[in-house]
């Protein structure tokens, strides 16, 4: 059996710390997003993306634009932790029907950094 070098262990620890730190950052953002102010936005895209590996699985994807203090922003974040999450096609279609392209939506945005926004504040169950 090969021995793992100290450098390999250090690299793995550093990667683990980076991933954990980023996860903690996203959890903090999701927590604070519950008290963020809101503005009106407009959907520019709302899609159901059927999985290439399973015909029964799909994901929901959106893009929206919004303004804060006259500055225009755009985002594709529906809910923290939901990006790339697959579900049944019917659930993805239900979300897409809830957010049709061209419709208005309430967007929660960070008062410190308005480019950070989300449609449904808090984290999805998948995000935890």
**pLDDT by residue (tens digit) across 57-103?**
777 788 999 999 999 999 998 777 655 555 667 777 877 788 889 99
Helical ranges in 72-127 per DSSP H: 89-98
Q: What is the pTM of this model?
A: 0.69
Taking a C-beta distance cutoff of 8 angstroms, is the pair 112, 32 a contact? no
Read off the pLDDT of residues 112-122 as tens digits, 9 standing for 90 and up: 999 999 988 88
Res 128: pLDDT: 44
CA 91 from centroid of its chain's CA atoms: 17
Of 58, 63, 64, nearest to 85 (Cα)? 58
User: What would the two tokens of residue 51 be?
Assistant: 């999985």
Cα(32)–Cα(117) distance, integer angstroms = 11
């Amino acid at each position: 059996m090969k021995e793992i070098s100290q450098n390999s262990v250090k690299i793995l620890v550093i990667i683990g710390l980076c991933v954990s730190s980023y996860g903690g950052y996203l959890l903090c953002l999701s927590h604070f997003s519950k008290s963020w102010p809101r503005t009106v936005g407009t959907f520019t895209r709302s899609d159901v993306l059927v999985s290439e590996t399973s015909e029964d699985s799909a994901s929901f994807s959106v893009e929206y634009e919004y303004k804060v203090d006259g500055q225009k922003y755009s985002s594709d974040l529906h809910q923290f932790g939901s990006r790339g999450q697959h579900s049944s096609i019917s659930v993805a279609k239900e979300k897409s029907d809830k957010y049709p392209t061209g419709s208005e939506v309430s967007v929660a945005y960070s008062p410190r950094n308005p480019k950070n926004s989300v449609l449904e504040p808090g984290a999805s169950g998948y995000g935890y």
